[in-house]
Chain A
Amino acid sequence: MSSTAEPVIRIEHVTKSYTSGMPVLRDVSLTVARGEVVVVCGPSGSGKSTLIKCVNALEPIQQGRITVDGEQVGGKGVNLPRLRARVGMVFQHFELFPHMRVLDNLCLAQCKVLGRSRQEAESRSEALLDRVGLKAFAGKHPGQLSGGQQQRVAIARALAMDPVVMLFDEATSALDPEMVSEVLDVMVELARSGMTMMVVTHEMGFARKVAHRVVFMDQGEVVEDSPTTVFFEGAQSPRARQFLSKILTY
């Protein structure tokens, strides 16, 4: 079913529109190979968040096909919760569960979805909190943490499911500037550990550092899909070049 040759994420000719509107994704095709880090960027409204939500079926698609680790998203007989459990997702606004302690945020889905024992879930959670530098915060509630700390907890929560791929949707853009780097550091460490990642971000420093490829989207289309060095040294399309000059010069 899944081999090393098969990409972890394969998006083929996907078209999507929200209820009775213009398509916000048009014939989008994109693959993410095992161990690859792909950065997706583009102007506001270009469909980056939508694309990432389609990968774990938080949004349905009208045309095309998406497979994750060989399984078709939304395909017949595919257990959607199980599939989603193998796709880690990090949101712009963290979306930690405010009524639960940090530790319980990490344990909930491990126990309910993967059927892990409470004890096993807790020891894995503690190890992951340690990895993101927040072991001491296990007993706190999310509201007692800074934005940067909350986002690191959210990353640990996603990792607790042992995902085959991690999706990030502007994980640092809701953060105060001084907290951006602590989250990026965790993401860089993750990328270097070999995690497969699809990362929507405008942090071009991050892209240069760890991305294998950069995808540029505009108006629902993939305009550019290049190896990182090629993208930065000579982006081909005028739109991508214009976008780059805007976000890099300010």
Chain B
Amino acid sequence: MSNFDFEIIGRSLGYLFFEGMRFTLTLTFLAAIGGVILGTGLAIIRLSGGRVLSAVAAGYVNLVRALPLVLVIFWFYFLVPYLGQWLTGSSRPIHVGGFASALITFIVFEAAYFSEIMRAGIASIPRGQAAAGLALGLTPLQSMRYVILPQVFRIMLPVLLTQTIVLFQDTSLVYVLSITDFLGAASKIAQRDGRLVEMYSFAALVYFIVSFAASRGVQRLRALIAVPR
């Protein structure tokens, strides 16, 4: 491990990106979508559900935010097969792949953060907007769907995307399940060929470039959508 070997990187690019990065991006994308949907539901329940329901939703958000992500990943990986068994009533624990398990974990985890973002967004819309929707005869859910949420997404898009960048970095934690995400792929090659410095440096560089470029993109977007109401 005396001299820095660039060639090892070049030779493993295909594996790193087509296996590893594809997994990472797919997981990030699907978890972000699922997290936003579940988080939006939680936010709506907290703001307009009954007392019991909103307390449950608040408890969920606070619980998840108080747990280390790695723990949740582990916990889910070992628990989900039994949960599935219980739900489907099958006689043995069902088989859940690493991807499905990781995806569920990140959706459940990120939903707590997205729900806080959405809650702030919904609260920022003047109350008169919902009243106008209701006065026109929309149901509370229709008013949420057609009047409030479209405005919230517009206002909160940069924050949601910034949270998604954090999620992109956090997905690397699935390495604890020996899953071949981008970091997992780099790690496997590093172990196999004894090229730890090269591979981990390269992985760090890639995470940095992707996150940095995405953040700059979000800043551009923020300027673009900052139109007066």
| Contact partner, B132, options A82, A97, A114, Cβ 8 Å | A97
> In whole angstroms, what is the CA distance A143 to B154 when docked?
15
Known contacts A91-B131, A95-B129; is-contact A113 B136 (Cβ 8 Å): yes
> Does A82 contact B137, Cβ atoms closer than 8 Å?
yes
- Cβ of B26 < 8 Å from any Cβ of A? no
The answer to whether A157 and B151 touch across the interface, beta carbons within 8 angstroms, is: no
Given A93-B128, A95-B128, A112-B142: A85 in contact with B150 (beta carbons within 8 A): no
Which chain B residue shows the least CB distance to A167?
A: B135
Q: Check A108 against B136 for contact (C-beta < 8 Å).
A: yes
Pick the contact of A112: B126, B146, B227 (CB < 8 A): B146
Are A84 and B151 also in contact (CB < 8 A) when A93-B128, A95-B128, A95-B132 are?
A: no
Cα distance, A192 to B19, chains bound together (Å)? 73
Measured between beta carbons, the chain B residues less than 8 angstroms from A108 are: 136, 138, 146
A32 within 8 A of B: no
Asked if A76 is at the interface (CB within 8 A of a chain B CB), the reply is: no
Shortest CB distance B229–A (Å): 5
Number of interface residues of B (CB under 8 A): 21
Q: Considering the chains assembled together, what is the distance between the CA atoms of A86 and B137 in angstroms?
A: 8
Which chain A residues lie closer than 8 Å to B135 at the CB level? 56, 58, 84, 87, 89, 158
* Docked-complex contact B137 and A143, CB < 8 angstroms: no
- Name the A residues within 8 Å of B133 (CB-CB): 97, 109
Q: State the Cβ distance, B48 to closest chain A Cβ, in Å.
A: 14
How many of chain A's residues have a CB under 8 angstroms from any CB in B?
Answer: 26
Residues of A within 8 A of B146 (CB): 97, 108, 112
Contacts of B136 in A (CB 8 A): 84-85, 108-109, 113, 157-158, 161
- Whether the pair A58, B129 counts as a contact (CB closer than 8 A) is no
Chain B residues near A96 (CB-CB < 8 A): 132
Name the interface residues of A34-57: CB closer than 8 Å to any CB of B: 53, 56
B151–A58 CB distance below 8 A: no
Q: Given A143-B227, A143-B228, do A58 and B139 touch, yes or no (CB 8 Å)?
A: no
Interface centre among A82, A97, A114 (most CB of B within 10 A): A97
* A98 contacts across to B, CB distance below 8 A: 151, 229
Whether the Cβ atoms of A113 and B151 lie closer than 8 Å is no
Chain B residues whose CB sits within 8 angstroms of the CB of A95 once the complex forms: 126, 128-129, 131-132
Q: Which residues of B contact A143 (CB under 8 A)?
A: 227-229
The answer to whether B128 and A99 touch across the interface, beta carbons within 8 angstroms, is no
A133 within 8 A of B: no
Q: Which residue of A lies closest to B129 (CB)?
A: A95
Query: Assuming the A-B contacts A97-B147, A98-B229, are A81 and B132 also in contact, with contact meaning beta carbons closer than 8 angstroms in the complex?
Result: no
Residues of B within 8 A of A112 (CB): 138, 142, 146
What is the minimal beta-carbon distance from B82 to any residue of chain A, in angstroms? 43
Instruction: Scan B101-145; emit 1 where CB is below 8 A from any A CB, else 0.
Output: 000000000000000000000000010110111111111001000
Complex Cα–Cα for A82 and B139 (A): 9
**A98 to chain B: closest residue by CB:** B229
Most buried by A among B133, B136, B137, B229: B136
Expressed in whole angstroms, the minimum distance between the Cβ of B211 and any Cβ of chain A is 30
Q: Please give the distance in Å from B160's CB to the nearest CB on chain A.
A: 16
Kindly provide the distance from the CB of B134 to the nearest chain A CB, expressed in whole angstroms. Answer: 6
Closest to B148 in A: A97
CA gap between A97 and B128 in the complex, in Å: 10
Interface residues of B (CB under 8 A from A): 126, 128-129, 131-139, 142, 146-147, 150-151, 154, 227-229
> Chain A: residues with CB nearer than 8 A to chain B?
53, 56, 58, 81-82, 84-87, 89, 91, 93, 95-99, 108-109, 112-114, 143, 157-158, 161
In the complex, 6 of the A-B residue pairs with CB atoms within 8 angstroms, ordered by the A residue number, are A81-B139, A89-B135, A91-B132, A97-B132, A97-B147, A112-B146
Known: A81-B139, A91-B131, A97-B146. 11 other contacts (CB 8 A): A58-B135, A81-B134, A81-B138, A84-B134, A89-B132, A89-B135, A95-B129, A99-B150, A112-B138, A113-B137, A161-B136
